[in-house]
Structure 1
Amino acid sequence: MPPLFKVVPKKGEGIYLYDEKALEDYRKKHKENFTLQRYKGLGEMDAEQLWETTLDPERRVLKKVEIEDARLASEVTELLMGSDVAPRRNFIHEHAREAVIDA
């Protein structure tokens, strides 16, 4: 699982934070200024950062994902990733309130 943030204090090495709670805790403990980088996806990382956070077996964080209904998951994936815009738009409008953002 890639991190959401990288914080770099004025003095010291940067660390990766994986959720909003970790960022909140960091801010409470570290009152000095720091640089904050928000990652929205893996494409924003350079090769070294990708290795450090996602690929290195010694440091990466893995989450187990279980799919209860593979057929439904496949259909929804095809709907959301397909080229037909109208069904995708309808799905998003129908399910927008169910979304969990940055959880």
Structure 2
Amino acid sequence: AVPQIEEMLPRSAAALSGGQGKMAALARALMTGTRLLMVDEPFQGLAPALARQYAESLSRLFTLRPELCVVITESNRALLDRVECRTLVLERGELQRQEASAVEASH
């Protein structure tokens, strides 16, 4: 579910880039069998192509693990358009609106 994770396996965590470190952390969290996953700014520091792969992986993850609840904080809403999810927009701690992703709305 995590892009390029197999390529990272032989390397130590200290040798990973910031974006690769985020993906390794996600893979490590998923291995615990958790049912709740909180991800803060998952696309920050990722190259655009890798961010796209990561978003697609998150969408596949929702299909493969429907029992998994994922809370994502992301300041750039456009990056979540490839992730099938329901979005809650908070401003100053108050719910402003709820919206479906572009992917979910097209189904």
TM-score of the superposition, structure 2-length normalised? 0.27
TM-score of the superposition, structure 1-length normalised? 0.28
